[in-house]
Amino acid sequence: MEHRLCHEGCADGTRVNTAPRGIDPRPWPWLLLGVALLALTQVRAGIGVLAWIAPVPWLRYLRLTSGLRSRASFAAVLFAAWTLTTAKIASESMFLTLAPLFALPIAVSQLGAYLTWDTLRRRVTPALAAMAFALALATGEWVIYALTPFGSWGATAYTQLDDLPLLQAASVVGIAGVGAVVSFASAAIEGALASGKDASALLGWSMGIVGGAHAAGTARLFAADIAQQETVTVAAIATDSDVRGTPLPSREVTHQWDRALLERTRAAARGGAVLAVWPEAATLVWPDEEDAWVASVRNVALSDGIDVVAAYVTPITTKPLAYRNELRFVLRDGHVEAPYAKHHPVPGEPAVAGRGPAPLVQRDWGRLSGAICYDYDFPGAGLERGRLGADLVAVPASDWRGIDPVHAQMAAVRAVESGHSILRSTRWGLSLAVDPYGRPRAWHSAFEPAKAGVMFAQLPRGHLRTLYSIWGDTPLLVVALSLAGFIWRRSPALRIRPGDANVPR
């Protein structure tokens, strides 16, 4: 039989229905329910509360089935589900190829976590199996955003973007740790379905962890509310640029964009802003005009007394298309910093990746750093700027309908992790200003008209040092490795030697 229901630990494959009374033992409905819950909770337009139970159907499927064929079916469905879910961001046909590209590493990392749980549940306590599942998922997320070019898309923590108290835990354990809290609760719920009243202690521990994280986050936000903070006025500047590929716009068109950007920057200065941030690819600067263009921005910064983060692209070749995707700090004292090039181009983007440390300039209103769009999908980028003591990070960005507004909300989590404010000025998406607690101070959609093309915001001065900015993901990895070592020592059944015949299958 393809899907056998075998009592846990039985070696002869006897078909025994161990499903609790009232639970349908047929496996396929659980598999399909998991697909639906994933699509409803992840990537875009997610229902956060459903994420707490989203893994449960797939854990049930694994418990109710056995055999290589059922595991292969699960792996195929997992990849298909993530491909369909990721396709939610592909509002334009050109982005459809991104769906399987981003889905594959997520599905592979999660498959490892589910199969780890499936192996351990027969040999260790439900609590240890649940912990292993949560930490394996969290470790897989860390591998993706720390070691691959795919960033933190698919992280469990992003299902909770509307749960600000819970997200405060990212200031201690990062997004992988926040996701582990959610995943542990899911495994505990599945354990209760499997074991009934015997899982009451596990559920109690899970509820305690979830409640404790929310209580601590609420206290942190309450303390921030009563603290007196000086603020500084900043502005996000809209652009008319539609640079996205070939054919490139004419010089006449780019000069029109430049004039509009400079006038809006002047309007920001008249409104009291000390900083104006342009969106990613706010204009296209031709190589032979770059010096003159920088001089024009510098003249506005000097004459109107405003610091400018000017973001632009400069073509290198057109066949094939390649360009520099950069920003410049043009300061009101006339100083112009060296360009910062986008360190993490989106896979497939024809931009030359930048190298070198994060920029940091000292201003009388605080320490300013910068990054470009997809850079802030990587927690490591926020960590670097947090460790530099940045007070505010300017993030020129360029989105599309399919990732609006979730992409801006994802970037805002870097503020919580690393203790700095963010001003994200976005073309074709949500411009967003958040404080070091991830609280929005101003927002505006590029798809709605903006008065004078300027979004003003008041952001707090100063840097908030966080534990995560000190130790990063090291504690998470240490705990995961320690748990693996503990389970390995306590569970001889896991150490299978070649030729062993009497081990549970």
Secondary structure of 113-180 in HEC code, one letter for each residue: HHHHHHHHCCCCCHHHHHHHHHHHHHHHHHHHHHHCCCCCCCCHHHHHCCCHHHHCCHHHHHHHHHHH
The CATH homologous superfamily of the domain defined by 230-460: Carbon-nitrogen hydrolase (3.60.110.10)
User: Structural domain boundaries of the chain?
Assistant: 27-90+100-225+473-493, 230-460
pLDDT in tens, 260-281: 999 999 999 999 999 999 999 9
Concatenate the DSSP letters of all residues of 224-238 into one string. HHHS---EEEEEEEP
Question: How many of the other CB atoms lie within 10 Å of CB of 109?
Answer: 20
pLDDT of amino acid 438? 97
pLDDT of amino acid 22? 42
Q: Which helix (H) or strand (E) holds 394?
A: strand 392-398
pLDDT of amino acid 166? 98
pLDDT of amino acid 228? 77
Q: Is residue 227 within 8 Å of 267, Cβ to Cβ? A: no
- Residues in the chain with pLDDT < 50? 1-24, 497-505
Percent of the chain with pLDDT over 90: 79
- Residues 6 or more apart whose CB falls under 8 angstroms from that of 161 comprise 46, 48, 167, 406, 409, 410, 413
pLDDT of amino acid 97? 74
